[in-house]
Structure 1
Amino acid sequence: MAARAVAADQRGLTLIELMITIAIGTTLAMMALPMYSTWIASQQVRTAAESVYEGIRVAQTEAVRRNNPVAFELAPATGWTVKLVSDDSVLRETKLIEGSPNVEVTVAPANATTVIFDGLGRALDDAQSPLAARITIDVKTKTGFTDARAQRVIIDTAAATGVGIRSCDPQLPTGDPRACPA
């Protein structure tokens, strides 16, 4: 009789309860995996776009600080470099592939991969003439992950304040403050 009293007081999970818990946990993890993959892809896109934006701002700030032309050079397949125009000394360099291996970067116009900032922070082209057009840098995932959000970095010399450098989301509707200008 004493043995039955001890057995009635035992607590814990049976093997069946444990197996059901593991099955439910595995099912929930399998359902969440695609959303997690899309989230990671979106974060890689955002990281790459913020890196490009930061590089452009660093180049502009260094040009003003040094009162000398500083170039921002984008290599869409690998990364970007900020360097002095006078002696080509590298001030900063970043590899996009390190933090964002599944990201593709495109530039429009296609030959606008170098922007030079003068001592006043104005954007110039390779020939050190004022930029004639807006430069658009699109950052998106390479393949798959169709739900991942793309990002865009814009260098606009038609901005009322001089050079407008902006990061935006091209998928948002006009009127949203995070949307890209038309």
Structure 2
Amino acid sequence: MQSIVVYCGSNPGTNPIYKEVAIELGEKLATRNIRLIYGGGGFGLMGTVADTVLNNGGEVTGVIPNFLADLEVAHKTLTELHFVETMHERKYKMVQLAKGVIALPGGYGTLDELFEILAWRQLKIYDGPVAIINTNGYYDLMLQQLDRMVADGFLKAENRSLLLVAESVEQVLDQIEAFWAIL
């Protein structure tokens, strides 16, 4: 694995465990020489992951739309920062640069990115692994909803299985490595 996209909140959340996991992920990415690809922001969990990778000698590529950069939310000290026009271009560019996707907790933006990449995976537009770290049961209700979608005939079971679920940073990185090892 050379690079991983991380989707996560532009806020830190209210439980300190979310920041702790973001720091651990940043440390592990740097230790394993995996470049972080992310949305380019300097705040919240996004900024925490990026800062941690950088502080541990790793490389970070941000992809940010011009309108967000104009609002001065762009991280200032990344290894590389790409500017794009739209959110769609941002999402496309990010996954083109990476060998997998990991989602940490976040809000609408995180869920938008997660579900779009799962739809792309289902349609075979994107072929890399897509995973979540279910810190503190954050994604439990979403996972129940996905199971309901299968039970009610709106989602095929094989497409439900496209989402890898991990409880820890080590587990998610191992799952992504295993994904590529069997291809």
Normalization by structure 2: what TM-score? 0.24
Normalization by structure 1: what TM-score? 0.24
Structure with the greater alpha carbon radius of gyration: 1
Q: 1 or 2 for the larger relative contact order (CA 8 Å, sep ≥6)? A: 2
More helix by share: 2
